[in-house]
């Protein structure tokens, strides 16, 4: 029996993928569970397994520029070694509903397989202009190049008013001449889609606080003077926000299909910048992990992310995201919520400045943090309490040390 290998949906956001490499060739015999290909998704490069036993009869050609839609046929496995031609013909006719006249001209099995594979190529390479019949007729009579117009109709279709309003809808010739058009990669497309949806669908509001982090700086310095694992400020921030969420369990929730889902574990996502975009791998159960373990885990996740090797369970989900731009000198900013989470914490740089302490002006170090919250899940007072607890923890970080069993000094 013939089995189709389809482009799998390897993450909830994946709509298409790229075949990076086939690990088998036509004629090879495989069994269920064998790794047959490497697929590039919007987040990582992942392996695809055979779903049945048999001989590989067709493989879609590798093309690193071709994005294959999810659930499209990418390979065919023939598991019927002894099946005769007539059995193939009858079975394929039943499956594909092909008329008997066509069956007599050519082996239907081969024809249907080839048609399915060719359909993928045709779909991705189809550069026909989408326009109404009226517009096409006008374009033909007046020798109009419809490629020079942007459509405002359904699914980008060019309608009559588009060609009437030339100045507004015509593609800018100066842009084509002076600018370089860059086709976004899969990750950039997903980032564009998800951030747009998040800003449109999530009612964001923002809370900011400024913290005195002199004691946090002192704690880090003491830890790193004795520890073989060097702790970063980001490691301390991740631990601190995890403790704050633990103190405010109602914030460990998200909005999903008109319902609020409350989570059992506190998993902190960490925004990591990549050459092609960004990704948010997760430190799971961060509230119960020691500082050294958090530090090692973030370094490992960052390395996997930069090499496109993260598994989907390492970046899907999360309770809250930490986005730290302090290393770039950014003093404060507001971040877009990483759906389906209900909050994200934006961390700025540590600034040395005069501060008032016990009616005296001294030179201290401050850090500004901005919490973006989803009003469907978190009311203002709830989110404010979370940010206030986070502030108290980093201003007096004894609790960070206390809840890290691998810390021997303070």
Q: In tens digits, what is the pLDDT along the chain, a chain of 410 residues?
A: 677 888 887 776 678 888 888 899 888 998 888 888 888 876 677 788 887 888 888 888 877 667 888 888 888 888 765 545 444 444 444 434 434 344 344 445 555 555 555 555 444 444 567 888 788 888 887 778 888 787 877 777 888 777 776 544 555 444 445 667 788 888 888 899 999 999 999 999 999 999 999 999 999 999 999 888 999 999 999 999 999 999 999 999 999 989 999 999 999 999 999 988 899 999 999 999 999 999 999 999 999 999 989 998 999 999 999 999 999 999 999 999 999 999 999 999 999 999 998 889 999 999 999 999 999 999 999 999 999 999 999 999 999 988 887 666 55
Question: Rounded to whole angstroms, how far apart are CA atoms 20 and 94?
Answer: 34
Question: Rounded to whole angstroms, how far apart are CA atoms 108 and 171?
Answer: 45
Q: Which residues are catalytic?
A: 375
317 with 386, same domain: the answer is yes
Q: What angle do CA 335, 341, 345 make, to 5 degrees?
A: 35
- Domain assignment present for residue 408? The answer is no
Looking at residue 122, what is its pLDDT? 46
259 with 210, same domain: the answer is yes
- Domain assignment present for residue 183? The answer is no
User: In sequence order, which residues have a C-beta less than 8 Å from that of residue 140 and are 6 or more positions away?
Assistant: none
Looking at residue 82, what is its pLDDT? 53
259 with 278, same domain: the answer is yes
- Provide the b/e sequence for 219-254 (b: ≥16 CB within 10 Å): bbeebeeebebebbbbbbbbbbbbbbbbebeebbbb
Beta bridge partners of 356: 361
Question: Could you give the count of Cα atoms lying within 13 Å of 193 in the half-sphere of its Cβ?
Answer: 12
Indicate the helix (H) or strand (E) that contains 254. strand 253-256
Question: Could you give the count of Cα atoms lying within 13 Å of 88 in the half-sphere of its Cβ?
Answer: 20
Return the closest-CA partner of residue 195 out of 70, 13, 404, 357: 13
112 CA to centre of own chain? 35
- Give the 3-state secondary structure of residue 75: strand
240 with 165, same domain: the answer is no
- Domain assignment present for residue 26? The answer is yes
Decide: 254 and 260 in contact? Cβ < 8 Å: yes
Residue found under tokens 């006008």? 138
Looking at residue 91, what is its pLDDT? 43
What are residue 352's phi and psi, to 5 degrees?
-90, 125
- Provide the b/e sequence for 365-381 (b: ≥16 CB within 10 Å): bbbbbbbbbbeebbeee
- Domain assignment present for residue 50? The answer is yes
Looking at residue 262, what is its pLDDT? 96
Under the phi-then-psi rule, with left for phi > 0, alpha for psi from -120 to 50, and beta for the rest, what region is 308? left
Identify the CATH number of the domain in which residue 107 sits. Answer: 2.40.50.100
State the distance between the two ends of the chain, measured CA to CA, in whole angstroms.
Answer: 67
* Encoded tokens for 318: 């999360």
Q: What is the DSSP letter of 342?
A: S
* Encoded tokens for 127: 């550069």
* Encoded tokens for 388: 């206030």
Q: Beta 272-274 vs 35-40: how paired, if at all?
A: unpaired
**Structural domain boundaries enclosing 344:** 188-402
- Domain assignment present for residue 28? The answer is yes
pTM of this structure:
0.63
Question: Rounded to whole angstroms, how far apart are CA atoms 402 and 239?
Answer: 11
216 with 96, same domain: the answer is no
Question: Could you give the count of Cα atoms lying within 13 Å of 165 in the half-sphere of its Cβ?
Answer: 10
148 with 289, same domain: the answer is no
108 with 195, same domain: the answer is no
């Amino acid at each position: 029996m013939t089995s189709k290998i389809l482009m799998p949906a390897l993450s909830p956001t994946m709509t298409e993928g790229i075949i990076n490499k086939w690990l088998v060739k036509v004629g090879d015999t495989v069994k269920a569970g064998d790794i047959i290909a490497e697929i590039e998704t919007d987040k990582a490069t992942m392996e695809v397994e055979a779903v049945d036993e048999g001989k590989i009869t067709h493989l879609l050609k590798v093309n690193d520029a071709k994005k294959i839609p999810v659930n499209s046929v990418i390979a065919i496995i023939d598991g019927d070694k002894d099946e005769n031609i007539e059995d193939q013909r009858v079975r394929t006719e039943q499956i594909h509903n092909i008329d008997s006249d066509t069956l007599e001209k050519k082996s239907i099995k081969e024809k249907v397989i080839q048609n399915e594979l060719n359909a993928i190529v045709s779909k991705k390479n189809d550069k026909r202009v989408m326009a109404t019949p009226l517009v096409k007729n006008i374009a033909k009579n007046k020798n109009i190049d419809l490629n020079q117009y942007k459509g405002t109709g359904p699914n980008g279709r060019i309608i009559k008013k588009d060609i009437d309003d030339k100045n507004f809808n015509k593609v800018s010739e100066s842009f084509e001449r002076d600018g370089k058009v860059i086709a976004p990669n899969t990750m950039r497309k997903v980032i564009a889609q998800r951030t747009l949806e998040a800003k449109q669908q999530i009612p964001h509001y923002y809370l900011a606080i400024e913290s005195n982090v002199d004691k946090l700086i002192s704690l880090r310095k003491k830890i790193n003077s004795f520890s073989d694992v060097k702790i970063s400020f980001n490691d301390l921030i991740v631990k601190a926000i995890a403790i704050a969420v633990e103190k405010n369990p109602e914030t460990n929730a998200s909005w999903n299909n008109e319902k609020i889902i409350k989570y059992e574990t506190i998993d902190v996502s960490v925004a990591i910048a990549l050459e092609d975009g960004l990704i948010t791998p997760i430190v799971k159960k961060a509230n119960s992990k020691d500082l050294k373990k958090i530090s090692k885990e973030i370094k490992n996740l960052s390395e996997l992310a930069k090499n496109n090797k993260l598994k989907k369970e390492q970046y899907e989900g999360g309770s809250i995201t930490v986005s730290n731009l302090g290393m770039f000198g950014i003093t404060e900013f507001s971040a877009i919520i990483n759906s389906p989470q209900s909050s994200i914490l934006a961390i700025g740089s540590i600034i040395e400045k005069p501060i008032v302490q016990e009616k005296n002006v001294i030179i201290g170090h401050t850090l500004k943090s901005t919490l973006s919250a989803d009003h469907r899940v978190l009311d203002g007072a709830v989110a404010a309490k979370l940010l206030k607890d986070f502030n108290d923890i980093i201003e007096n970080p004894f609790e960070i040390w206390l809840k890290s069993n691998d810390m021997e000094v303070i």
